[in-house]
A and B are shown apart, each in its own frame.
Chain A
Amino acid sequence: MILEIKNLKKVYGDKTVVNIEYLQIAEGETVGLVGNNGAGKTTFFRMLLDLIRPSEGSVLSKGENVMQTDAWKDYTASFLDEGFLIDYLTPEEYFIFIGSLHNLSQADVSAYLSRYTEFFNGEIINSGKYIRDFSKGNQNKVGIAAALMQNPEFLVLDEPFANLDPTTQIRLKTILRSLKSERRLTTFISSHDLNHVTDVCDRIILLEKGLVIKDFMKDENSLKELEEYFSE
């Protein structure tokens, strides 16, 4: 079991933003987190990554509390928003920096990047721009690619499909699927787009006002079910 959530709560003032009693994610699962704005998805993800101190409860990654050790950083890669990018670097510099944290040499990094030329669509590498000068979609690509480069066992992405063009959306889905079958990658993604989520995930968690409303394995009726839920 790669992730275990126990009685996780985050309270701001008198408002409980996240309140998850128990949740676990097994290795190799691709889990989608859906919910409207304000459902607490990002706050939840931030707690997973030890960026926000939970008011109560704990997040266990491979049985270890993320607040207490750094070991989870070895196998967890994430991209939530542009705040994860060091925007005054060129993409190459950023990839090399992230790579160096995982003991990848420059050659390793360029070898990796060459596999993703299609994904980058010729706009990222050797563009002569800092990350801050890219469009949001391309920044997203840099963040996602940097996360994938870390060879993670556990991947956390917040709204990865937002701002991406249709071609890239499809490519990203292909990449996620193939990584899952190749390496048993565990993925936890959030999205507003029910189509994408049902397409790529095999388990779906529905969050509303911080509570887990539904948690089910995907089948052919899932999309309909979700659409019905959200149109109410």
Chain B
Amino acid sequence: MLSTFLSHQRKSFWRSRNKGGSIATQIVMGFFILYFVAIALIVGFGMPYLLPKVFKGQDPLKMFDGIILYYFAFDFLLRLQLQELPTLSIIPYLHLKIPKQKIISFINVKALFSAFNLLPLFIFLPFCIIRIAEAYGVFAMLMYIISILSIMVFNNYTVLYIKRKSITNILYTVIGLAVIAGFAALEYYKVISIMTGSHFVFSAVAAHPYYGLFFTLVAGLMFWINSEYLRKNLYVEELSTKQEKKASTDYAFLNQFGRVGELAALELKLILRHKRSRYSITMSFFFLIYGLIFYKEKIIAADEFGKMMFAAIFMTGISIIMYGQFMFAWQSAHFDGLLSNKINFKDFIKAKFLLFTIAATIITLLASFYGFLSPKLLLLHLAAYLYNIGFGTVTVLYLATMNYKRLDMTKSASFNFQGTGATQWLLMLPYVLVPFLVYLPFGMLDKPYLGLVVLSAFGMIMLLMRGFWVDFITKKFEQQRYKIAEGFRE
């Protein structure tokens, strides 16, 4: 039976309507996974050498114990965001003569096919085999491996259970991250140490290998709880996310913009009420850490803004890029309705500009905490911000008029490349290159601040020309509307 299910799954993939898209997605996913596996392998086999380097003067075995719980805490949060529930595909089987237990085992088995259940193997197993066996003996090594696998299985099913009960929320993840960061800080200042705790747990396993079975027991328990829950709730209605009461909302703030504000409010609801768009927005916040990678002390001191331009443009304009790359397609499900209703196309385009401007302003304000690194960065951000709202918005919206790919908003968000076409990837090039090219000559002439002024001026001028650009894009939109609508109907 299980193999029949799997063969149906395979068919559903190969025969799916947008096969091309999903294959491309799978290939990209495959590369992502390979990439992570490669990193995991390097980390795994490098661990015996890396640990002494990172934690100087400490016992690597102890440190290895220490990081295991950290890893799984982080793994748990990542899963909470990214792991998918394998449920919907079972609907056609529920009314057939198939024992519930079979369906449940299928769901459970399928849930194990996740990259999250692959990485720990590569990260932890090499060290176990190379060092633990040597230090504590083969039996202890086996129990180490069993413990680690058990924690992995525990995480896997706990996350699924939480997701099934739909008590998950992006806020929890953020809080969870904060808690982990808090512990890391406490660790750093030697107040409390999870690493010691983790070590304490695993040294117990090393000393009394049988203790490792405790993890297996807990994992088994979680597996059982999960299966029981499924058994009791194997109804389509209850398997999909729970319905809470939906309320009508009104964004008073946008009302002052009249008709344009109404359209912007409409789109704001679109963003907030769909997983996929919410995900895009959440990712924008995560990209705020880009600066930490690119803003190096030396570069800041040398005023080399060119090297930081990419990060600045990206951070302050991320919401424009992330949301804009699928522009108009977000509304593909009701595009006909928008066209046939009494909506002025100019207002429609203006609403997009308004939304972009608000989003970019918020994210730029958030990014201004980099001012603590150096106030110069604020100037850089200002220039990047002006460029983004002045010219970036125009680029994105112009390209949007050439995007005919329907976007299915009901599909999940993470690693979903449906609706992604060549345009989306090409978009990044001019978007990032233009400000760089504007700045480059001044950077080369060693006039970095003048470069920023010129870039800001460029953004300002474009901003002042917004009326013109609105007309320009509206015109283009009017020409393209049949083509867009046709593409979105597919």
Contacts and interface: CB of A to CB of B under 8 A. Distances in A.
Interface of A: 46, 49-53, 70, 73-74, 78, 80-90, 92-93, 96-98, 100-102, 128-130, 132-133, 150
Nearest to B258: A100
B46 to A, nearest CB: 47
Given A83-B336, A83-B337, A85-B337, A90 B482 contact: no
A1 to B, nearest CB: 21
Given A49-B340, A50-B339, A100-B262, A87 B482 contact: no
Interface in B162-204: none
Contacts of B269: 88-89, 93
Given A50-B339, A88-B270, A83 B489 contact: yes
Contacts of A81: 336
A51 B488 CA distance: 11
B344 A98 contact: no
A51 B266 contact: no
B364 to A, nearest CB: 28
30 contacts: A46-B336, A49-B340, A51-B336, A51-B339, A51-B485, A52-B485, A52-B486, A80-B336, A81-B336, A82-B333, A83-B334, A83-B337, A84-B336, A84-B337, A86-B266, A87-B333, A88-B269, A89-B266, A89-B269, A90-B246, A90-B247, A93-B249, A96-B248, A98-B341, A100-B262, A101-B342, A128-B245, A128-B247, A129-B243, A129-B246
Contacts, number: 78
- Of the candidates A52, A70, A86, A100, the one having the most CB atoms from chain B within 10 angstroms of its own CB is A86
Contacts of B249: 93
A189 B458 CA distance: 53
A132 B333 CA distance: 11
B252 to A, nearest CB: 13
B343 interface: yes
Given A83-B335, A101-B341, 13 more contacts: A50-B339, A51-B340, A78-B340, A82-B333, A84-B334, A86-B266, A87-B334, A88-B274, A88-B409, A93-B249, A98-B341, A100-B262, A128-B247
- Of the candidates A78, A85, A87, A88, the one having the most CB atoms from chain B within 10 angstroms of its own CB is A88
Interface string B314-327: 00000000000000
Contacts of A98: 341
Interface residues on B, range: 20 to 34
B342 A74 contact: yes
B475 interface: no
B10 interface: no
A97 B254 CA distance: 14
B273 interface: yes
Contacts of B344: 70
A83 B413 CA distance: 22
Contacts of A96: 248
A24 to B, nearest CB: 21
Contacts of B336: 46, 49, 51, 80-81, 83-84
A128 B246 CA distance: 4
Contacts of A89: 266, 269
Nearest to B486: A52
Interface string B248-277: 110000000001001000100110011000
A52 B341 contact: no
Contact of B342 (A53, A73, A92): A73
A144 B482 CA distance: 24
Interface in B333-360: 333-337, 339-344
A49 B339 CA distance: 8
A121 to B, nearest CB: 19
A84 B486 CA distance: 14
B339 A97 contact: no
Contact of A130 (B246, B335, B341): B246
Nearest to B410: A132
Given A52-B485, A101-B343, A86 B243 contact: no
B485 A97 contact: no
- Of the candidates B246, B339, B340, B410, the one having the most CB atoms from chain A within 10 angstroms of its own CB is B340
A133 B410 CA distance: 12
